[in-house]
Chain A
Amino acid sequence: MTDQMTFRLAWRNLWRRPRRTLLTLSALVLTLAMLIFFGNLMSGMWDRIIRVATSSLVGQAQVHLAEYRRTQDPERFLRDRDALISALERQPQVKGASARIYAPALAAMGDRSQSVRLMGVDPEREAMVTSWKDRIWQGRYLTDDGGALIGKRLAEKLEIGVDSKLVVTVADLRTGDLNSVLLRVHGILWTQNPKVDEGSVIVTLPTAEKLAGLQNAAHEVALTWHTTGEVPPTTPSLPRDDLVFSTWQELIPGMAQAYNLQSGYLWFSFVVVFLLVALSIANTMNMSLMERHREFGILMALGTSDRQLVGGIVSEYFLLGGLGSVAGLVLGLLITLACAQTGITLTGVEVMGFALDEPLYPRTDLAFSFGQALTFWVLTPLISYWSVNRLRRMDPVEILQASM
């Protein structure tokens, strides 16, 4: 009975009680729209967190001496740094390659001192990998003339500002002797990444080498790609086999996991919310089926099979689900787009230590949005099927008698 009359019948039955149908429909539409918006907002949030994490420190990938990667022991630095950098920079997918030297250090200002992480970088190359140049809260970016950048929270702890002087003491990585240097603070960094903001003193490579007793060495090389997006480009070839290459997902596995977890969680909460809506659908549906009981008896008497009867009612909810899905999708995308213009400010919210102080912009994830809408469309008639299937066992005589 896949006749247009089936759908005409379903359509008209759907609108027998326009108010009731509109209520059910708006519940569907609003729920779907909110879920789509919320999902897109979460995508935007994770984009932000990942971007902050990668652009504030990690980069898109890194190269280390295999042993350093495993042990994090600062004595396991890699040599021939300059040759490695130029080998990496020659590869077409590499946009930036920045060598870094790390050393545990003590920063002192008057009678206050704080253990910190000294980080030596090449200011020009580092600017290709991290966004520090744009993240200077006060002062200016690092130059080759020997100053230091410090994180905002460190500056607050030490109660210092731009142009303050800081004594940094580092143990020589070869001899163990203590080397100290007086550094002038050039700028204060605010990246929203606690690893940078809380405990980093950033200096030029020559300064770091002098303090740590190294030459043409590095602990890591951070990389960025020319392409952005989910799919990483081909792994660059490494000139030596004592080196290892790691993507940001491997470097901050907690974040990649949390990201996957949140999309799973999103689908889970989606199902929960949908089930709540489904309950109300099933409820109004039972009411409407009760009212039409006698008609079902007549239809059965006329020779409508159980399958056709159930199919007709499921068609109604197929139409309802279709209407709700399309309208909810449109509304959800409209809210997403509107919010993408203005942004949403969630002051005081922190996710994995990353503050979300700046306005958050949802990302229009079309696959996700259409997926949710489609799921709604499929689930709505499925729920009606489950609740209407009992008609299959009903006795037409009983129905006709009861409703006379």
Chain B
Amino acid sequence: MQREIVAKTIDVKRHYETKGGCVKAVDGVTMQVEAGEFLAIAGPSGSGKSTLLNLLGMLDEPTDGRIRLEGRDIEGLSRTERARIRRDHIGFIFQAYNLIPVLTVAENVEYVMMLQGQDTASRRQRALEVLAEVELEGKEDRFPQELSGGQQQRVAVARAIASRPALILADEPTANLDSKTAIALIDMMERINREQGTTFVFSTHDPRIMKRSSRMIRICDGKLEEEAAEVLV
């Protein structure tokens, strides 16, 4: 079955000019993300995972090469236009401290929908719905710091899926969790991917987390190593 391509990079480079010379954080990466994938980007620390995810997520701009998002070239857009694409098409989950401490759990989840201009009642309803999805019923009026690290990451997952973006980018979402909680979180993401067809791309250097992916890309020194065949769940 031919699946829709959500995002695609063509020979993308991201180089940093530093005092010590040119750092090639991402150095000619060609890859694509298909709709409904649970794609792992694996590689050691400093290999370019974050840089690649930031490029896919329109947080960063490539030094060279092209990026297509939902079939559309995304070069030469203004800051505001890029912010709008992130808001409407991409969900982010970072390694830690994802949440706004002064907002309640539900308000954190509602935030993107608020930016999109959804009315209070419908976004609240949706927030409760996705909080149930990540098994955080009853925690909606807590503040982030009242939750455990694993629960906070689940709120971040709920926030990312709430506005139904085409692509969710998770940069080492489990790196700050103990291994049991980490596996539980990745299992939860995998279940959401399976049940709802949400497209996830996540980075990790933890082999047990990589194993949960539907496909894996290995990156080292900014270059893709090999593209492994589908890994069975």
Residues of A whose CB lies within 8 Å of any CB of B are 1, 3-5, 8-9, 12-13, 16, 294-295, 298-308, 396-397, 400-401, 403-404
Contacts and interface: CB of A to CB of B under 8 A. Distances in A.
A303 to B, nearest CB: 2
Interface in B51-93: 54, 57, 59-60, 79-80, 83-88, 90, 92
Given A13-B102, A302-B92, A404-B95, A397 B54 contact: yes
B112 interface: yes
B7 to A, nearest CB: 16
B103 A9 contact: yes
Contacts of B92: 298, 301-302
B114 A1 contact: yes
Interface residues of B, number: 34
A303 B87 contact: yes
Given A397-B54, A397-B59, A303 B110 contact: no
A9 B84 contact: no
A294 B97 contact: yes
Interface in B91-132: 92, 94-103, 107, 110-112, 114-115, 117, 120
Contact of A295 (B59, B84, B100, B114): B100
Contacts of A401: 50
B115 A308 contact: yes
26 contacts: A1-B114, A1-B117, A3-B114, A3-B120, A5-B111, A8-B107, A9-B100, A295-B100, A300-B83, A301-B57, A301-B59, A301-B86, A302-B87, A302-B115, A303-B84, A303-B88, A303-B90, A305-B79, A305-B80, A305-B83, A305-B84, A306-B79, A401-B50, A403-B97, A404-B95, A404-B96
Given A5-B110, A303-B87, A400-B59, 15 more contacts: A3-B120, A5-B107, A9-B100, A298-B92, A298-B99, A302-B86, A302-B111, A302-B112, A303-B90, A304-B83, A304-B115, A306-B83, A396-B59, A400-B94, A404-B95
Among B60, B80, B86, B95, chain A packs the most CB atoms within 10 A around the CB of B86
Nearest to B90: A303
Contacts of B80: 305-307
A319 to B, nearest CB: 13
Contacts of B88: 303
A230 to B, nearest CB: 50
A358 to B, nearest CB: 55
B83 A303 contact: yes
A308 B100 CA distance: 15
Contact of B114 (A5, A307, A396): A5
B155 to A, nearest CB: 12
A97 B83 CA distance: 77
A298 B94 contact: yes
Among B80, B92, B95, chain A packs the most CB atoms within 10 A around the CB of B92
B98 A298 contact: yes
A146 B114 CA distance: 89
A8 B120 CA distance: 13
Contacts of A12: 102-103
Interface in B183-223: none
Contacts of B86: 301-303
